Amino acid sequence: MKNQRFRHLLTTTIACATLISLTAPHAFAESVSTDISNVDPIATSDIAPNTVVKEEETVNDLKDTVETVTETDKTTKDINDNSVTTGENNVTVKDAEPGKKPVGTQDRKGQENTLTWGVRSSFNNYSGGPTEMLDGATQNERKNQFTFDLESVTYDKETEKLEAKFKGGVRYQKYCDDNTKYTNCKLDLKIENPRIVISKAGSYVFAKISSKQYPDGNVYTNDGITETKPIAQLYTANADFKDENNKITWSEIPATLTTDGNKTFSDFYTVGGGLDPITFNFDKSKLTGDQSEYKRLSTDNAKYLVSPQSFNNEVLYENHRELFKFKGHVIVATADSTGSKVDKTGFSLLDRDLNEKHFKDVDLNWYGAVTFDEKNGDLYYVKNIEGNYKNVYKIHVHTKTGFSEPKLVYTFNDDVTTLGYNPHTGDVVAVSKKQTAIINSKSIVPLSLPSDQELVKEYGFTDAEHVYGNSYSFSPAATELLPMEDGTFILNANGSSAKKNSTNFYGLMVSINPRNKEKPARFLPESAMAWPNLKSNSARVKGNLIIRFNDNSSEAHVVAQSFRYENEKLIDLQGKNPVRGTASDIKSWGNAFITNEGTVIALDSKDGILKHVDIKTFKKIQDNTPDKYGRVLEDIAIPSGAKTASHHHGPLLQLDEGTFYVSAYDASKGEAEETYVLRKVYDPKFVPESFEEKPDIPDTDEQNNSSLSNTWKIILGVLGGLASIVGIFGVVNHFFGEQIRNFLQQFQR
């Protein structure tokens, strides 16, 4: 009986020990694994209601929304106005005393039954803002946004005309002989009692004006009543409109100068030039007329709307930006300044509604050498290491977890001037002044490039400069590497030039083929133009179509050009004559991209309007063919879209068929503090694709490390199991050793 019990005990002990040895590695592995099963799909919608076009609604998982808000709260800076911008010769007794707000200072934007308008922020910034606020009007602390109280509002259902009258005014008395008594002021301007009219016949701002003209001293007046003398034109079709809780709100209606508006500023600007956007609201109880019938204009049937949401990381506009798309998200790369590291420069991951989900602070070079491998989700960039621009780093992107830690990819022998990704081949390529290489391959083997002089001499050019770009130019444009369908790239070097027969040529382009060991670079002589205005330019590509344009703000000096790349040559679509701004519908190029149909969507820096133009003539395309909703593609007015030519950022980004993103110029912070704002333009009828982010697949090194780690886990688990067996046998021997020996002796007999 004792022997039988012992056999049961021994069998059970060995079985337990064996079970421990088999399960230990799995238990160990499970304890360190990450839960990747809870990955929520991203499902969004830009559909607006059929009755009233409202702010777009995004259908997000509640958990994602909470996470986004939390992350945004952590990373977004407070942008409260907390300083007063001063201008030349604007010290007056009415200005703010130290520690006090200026007279009439109170930021009331959004307060019920008000109009908020800065007229033109740049004018306020350099003039130091108004000297005096009139009849209850108030200003913000920066003195470049003004709020007026509603006096009356009427609506006529038959004509769809809304008229909203506001009271109050602003007065500028600057550059005076006596800045305490305001005698003989060169600038003496009053703008009072603004009146907004929104109707099918046209939407405008009227105001009572008294303006001393410079330099003749005559006074221009406008009673604000005459219907033929508006000071600003409004573009309501793309603006945000809300009818909620018995309150009507128009947000950021783009505005441009009229002829009379320009006279307000002594004809200092140009007719059609951009003004600050307008925001106003009123309670429906204030409305005289058909209160229940008021809605936005029936003619406001725009195919695209501009979302009131925007992204502004408070970094100066002059810091270069590049935009990339990734699984329904937007990546914003913000470059450092030339001098020192700036807060919030690096990479921001935004959802399609421009909420920042993740941010990675990196030392990103200031001249825009960055690219994105969309297929693998890898960002490549040149890191600034104490003025050394030879090192290329990589960061992996995941929409759920954000950005990985930077990893050194390769160190070149000299400064890297540009990076590019070709979606047709999947190659990520770097170009320095002397080398080029594919840097997302298993082995990186740089190819030597011919010198600037060697590259151009076979075509009769001499004295070539910056053909491969450079890392120290202060010109507001980046050196670009444009991907071509044949797997090559075209390098558009900012600041490149050469001579031929004593004539200077600019805008030199180079074909880069890092797979051609014999000839990795080839000069494209068709790109060279004897046009000094093309020395600094930006280029855009779609397929084999290329456009380029310069950054000048004067129509007479603005030029743009388009090419088709064919049989390793550039074919000039204009016949060797770039199109001037005076002959184009784009008077100053702020930004652009080429559509899938081979046309161009361009942002005009003069008026802040996004225009659909022909790729050859750059004239607006008049396509009145309606879509299935009865809409046609019209101009899109972008709030604060003017003055965007002051720095050419990377291309406008088309996320999908119904959504693209446009850069804007925000001057509200004050002179020399202008910032970059990203705006979303969307089709309210478009339903975006849902994306479900899969778990990351580690790279080769990580896989090897992971496999090695798993092997050791198994080994350690087995050893642990054996140790457990040994331990158990020790315990058994201590208590039952005598019985075991007696048991074994029975078999020996």
Render pLDDT for 103-115 as a digit per residue (tens, 0 to 9).
555 666 668 999 9
Could you tell me the pLDDT band of residue 166, with boundaries at 50, 70 and 90? very high
Percent of the chain with pLDDT over 70: 77
The Cα 348–Cα 313 span in angstroms is: 9
Task: Give the pLDDT score at 106.
Answer: 62
pLDDT band at 715 (very low <50, low <70, confident <90, very high): low
pLDDT, greater one: 337 or 49: 337
Is residue 85 scored above 50 in pLDDT? no
Burial label, 623 (beta-carbon count in 10 A; 0-12, 13-18, 19+): exposed
In this prediction, residue 723 carries a pLDDT of: 52
> Across-strand partners of 566?
569
Least confident of 194-198, 286-290, 679-683, 741-745: 741-745
Q: Determine the pLDDT at residue 686.
A: 95
Q: E strands along 338-383, which residues?
A: 346-350, 356-361, 370-373, 378-382
Q: Is the Cβ–Cβ distance between 298 and 161 less than 8 Å?
A: no
Euclidean distance between CA atoms 718 and 166, whole angstroms: 83
- Tell me the angle at which helices 2-32 and 700-748 cross, rounded to the nearest 10 degrees: 180
C-alpha–C-alpha distance, residues 339 and 167, integer Å: 46
Q: Residue 679: is its pLDDT beyond 90?
A: yes
Averaged confidence pLDDT in the chain: 83
pLDDT over 80 (residue 198): yes
Among 8-17, 110-119, 241-250, 264-273, which stretch is predicted with the lowest mean pLDDT?
Answer: 8-17
Q: Which residue has the higher pLDDT, 740 or 366?
A: 366
Q: What value does the mean pLDDT take over residues 239-261?
A: 96
pLDDT-derived band at 689 (thresholds 50, 70, 90) equals: confident
Predicted local confidence at residue 110, as pLDDT: 62
Looking at residue 400, its pLDDT comes to: 96
**Confidence class for position 695, pLDDT limits 50, 70, 90:** low
Q: In the structure, what pLDDT confidence band is assigned to residue 76 with cuts at 50, 70 and 90?
A: very low
Q: Is the pLDDT at 289 greater than 80, yes or no?
A: no
Quote the CA–CA distance of 368 and 513 in Å, as a whole number. Answer: 21
Distance (Å, rounded) from C-alpha 213 to C-alpha 267? 8
More reliable by pLDDT, 588 or 743: 588
**pLDDT tens digits, 519-558:** 999 999 999 999 999 999 999 999 999 999 998 889 999 9
Tally of CB atoms within 10 A around 89? 15
Note whether 382 and 370 are within 8 A (CB).
Answer: yes
Q: What is the per-residue pLDDT for 192?
A: 99
pLDDT band at 121 (very low <50, low <70, confident <90, very high): very high
C-alpha 239 chain-centroid distance: 19
Q: Taking Cα atoms as reference points, which of 590, 584, 582, 583 lies closest to residue 606?
A: 590
Query: At 189, which helix (H) or strand (E)?
Result: strand 187-198
Query: In the numeric block, which tokens belong to residue 181?
Result: 């008594």
pLDDT band at 494; cut points 50, 70, 90:
confident
* pLDDT at residue 499 tops 80: yes
Per-residue three-class SS string for 376-422: CCEEEEEECECCECCEEEEEEEECCCEECCCEEEEECCCCEEEEEEE
pLDDT band at 576 (very low <50, low <70, confident <90, very high): confident
Neighbouring CB atoms inside 10 A of 554's CB total: 13
Is residue 501 within 8 Å of 512, Cβ to Cβ?
no
Ranked by mean pLDDT, which of 32-41, 509-518, 666-675, 715-724 comes out on top?
Answer: 509-518
Average pLDDT rounded to a whole number, residues 303-325: 96
Band the pLDDT of 57: cuts 50, 70, 90.
Answer: very low
Phi, psi values for residue 262, rounded to 5° = -70, -35
Parallel, antiparallel or unpaired: strands 287-289 and 146-156: parallel
Give, in order, the Cα–Cα distances in Å from 95 to each of 98, 170, 180, 452, 555: 10, 13, 11, 57, 38
**Cβ proximity of 231 and 258 under 8 Å:** yes
Residue 564 predicted with pLDDT over 90: yes
Sole residue written with tokens 């429906």 = 284
pLDDT at 594 over 70: yes
Residue of 177, 167, 179, 168 lying closest to 128 (CA atoms): 179
Alpha carbon distance 540, 595 (integer Å): 11
pLDDT band per the 50, 70, 90 thresholds, residue 91: very low
DSSP states of 624-654: ----TTS-----EEPTT-TTGGGS--SPPEE
Rounded distance between C-alpha atoms, residue 692 and residue 139, angstroms: 47
Instruction: Evaluate if residue 34 carries a pLDDT over 50.
Output: no
* Rounded distance between C-alpha atoms, residue 206 and residue 227, angstroms: 8
CA 358, CA 347: separation in Å to the nearest integer?
Answer: 8
Decide which of 732 and 305 is more confident.
Answer: 305
Name the pLDDT band for 384 (thresholds 50, 70, 90).
confident
Locate the domains of the chain by residue range: 2-36+701-748, 81-302
What's the confidence (pLDDT) of residue 387?
82
- State the Cα–Cα distance between residues 730 and 726, nearest whole angstrom: 6
Question: Could you identify the residue written with the tokens 């910056």?
Answer: 466
